[in-house]
Amino acid sequence: MAKQAQNSMQSALDLVQAVQQNEMVPQAAVEMCLGAIEAHEPIVKAFCCLDPAMALEAAMHSTGPLKGICVAIKDVFDTADMPTEYNSPIYRGYQPRADASLVSTIRGLGASIIGKSVTTEFAFFSPGPTTNPNNPDYSPGGSSSGSAAAVAAGMVPLAIGTQTGGSVIRPAAFCGITGYKPSFGFLPKSGLKNLSPSLDTAGLFATHVRDVAFFAALLTGRRLRVDGGVQGAPKIGLIKTHHWADVDHDMQEGLEIAARLAVRSGATVIELNFDDIIMRAFSSHQIIHDYEASRALAWEHREHPDKLSTLITETLEFGKTIPNADYDEALAQAAEARKIIADQLSSVDVFLTPSAPGIAPKGLASTGSSLFNRVWTLLHLPCVNVPGLRGSNDMPIGMQIVGPYLEDRKTLAAAAWLENVLRKSLS
């Protein structure tokens, strides 16, 4: 294990400061991104649509704290001036009339929306063409493949994505960047193509935790920034979960290193076990997901079944067979589990747990497993992937910080603290 080097990645906060202090004109910040796109996009394939002219135009004429800062938009969010295709042939060339709420907010902050980033089909499992910037032979993760890869390759400093299972945290871990899945409902979903409304959560990508917290603070108007001073050492609950047998050697070693370094730096780390209700709630995720997906994509399934992948077709057909009573019970189990996890989190500040079973899978046939993400999405808790470790073949490994519901600043602060510990200890 060694500290990962990502010298080509761009810090959003550093760029904002450079523009605000007239050390860089906004157009130059955009042109820097365009240069990185020209250099890396032929291999990484992070974008399904690019509009450099529009990005430069925004840099010249917009105002706001993100003036000159390029942002990539996952292609499940509506954009009024770019196609929104959900990586599905059903929607080739589809042009919404209005921006998604989150997209409109980003524009209002003065950012340059440089393009739409690749998603898996309807933000489910079937991959797009995107490769991992650390090694193109490996998956970037999914479903927010393009957003994570674009940040990791230094093509944009900020990007947005979604998580219904593990689609923010997992690609962030595989690509070696920060991914932040806020508390459920923190970021608006109007204009987002739903897959499972009870689980779908908009999320953010950036180079460092401080960058993603800065972005989140602007988008929400909440006190979320963590770049203003030294964070205190948190009390951490180490959670291996009931899927520990699925963790590979790299992740086992990585989690041990992270916990050991945290203790050495002043944190209290205690190992906690999942309550049985939490383990039962894990199975509720699939019931809720498939039941709701079969309704969310009912039109596509009925009118264009030949244009859906086999995997999503099987999922939708299974979802239609789930009895209402089973769905209702799954919702009730999730609600009960949220109460119990709140009690467990009352004894610590945050949980530390794997972001994924290990490094990214080799090849592009799979975006990897969401085993270590689904339950946190179901429980609506804020999660942050903390980069800094590497495993086999020098590929990134991510540590996941999970915090109490609606206590996102505490979660981000703990993640920033751990990121700093890893960076200093492994340099």
Which of the four pLDDT bands, split at 50, 70 and 90, describes residue 5? very low
Which of the four pLDDT bands, split at 50, 70 and 90, describes residue 274? confident
Closest CA to 195 of 261, 294, 333, 59: 294
**What mean pLDDT value characterizes the chain?**
95
Contact 168/144 with Cβ under 8 angstroms?
yes
Tokens of 67: 């003036």
The 3-state DSSP composition of the chain as helix, strand, coil percent (nearest 5) reads: 45, 15, 40
Tokens of 315: 């999922």
Closest CA to 381 of 180, 169, 183: 183
Per-residue b/e over 204-218, b at no fewer than 16 CB within 10 Å? bbbbbbbbbbbbbbb
Tokens of 355: 């972001």
Helix axes 209-220, 101-108, angle to 10 degrees: 100
Tokens of 134: 């650390």
In the chain, what is the straight-line distance between the N-terminal and C-terminal CA atoms, in Å?
11
- Residue ranges per structural domain of the chain: 12-237+347-425
How far apart (Å, rounded) are the C-alpha atoms in residues 413 and 213?
Answer: 9
- 214-223, 273-282, 291-300, 384-393: least confidently modelled range: 273-282
Contact 137/122 with Cβ under 8 angstroms?
no
How far apart (Å, rounded) are the C-alpha atoms in residues 206 and 270?
Answer: 29
Instruction: Answer with the residue of higher pLDDT: 69 or 279.
Output: 69
Q: Provide the H-helix boundaries in 110-184.
A: 145-152, 169-175
Which of the four pLDDT bands, split at 50, 70 and 90, describes residue 425? confident
CB atoms within 10 A of CB 157: 29
Tell me how many degrees the CA angle 155-67-214 measures, rounded to the nearest 5.
Answer: 75
Interval 294-321 mean pLDDT: 98
Domain covering 12-237+347-425: architecture:
Alpha-Beta Complex (3.90)
Quickly list DSSP for 273-294. Answer: ---HHHHHHHHHHHHHHHHHHH
- The tally of CA atoms less than 13 A away on the side-chain side of residue 9 is 25
Q: What is the pTM of this model?
A: 0.97
Tokens of 164: 């219904």
DSSP letter (8 states) at residue 234? P
pLDDT of 1 > 60? The answer is no
Note the pLDDT tens digit of each residue in 235-273.
Answer: 999 999 888 999 999 999 999 999 999 999 999 999 998
Q: What is the pLDDT of residue 3?
A: 36
Backbone angles phi, psi at 74, to 5 degrees: -60, 135
Counted residue by residue, the chain has a size of: 427
Helix axes 12-20, 26-44, angle to 10 degrees: 150
- Residue showing tokens 């209700």: 277
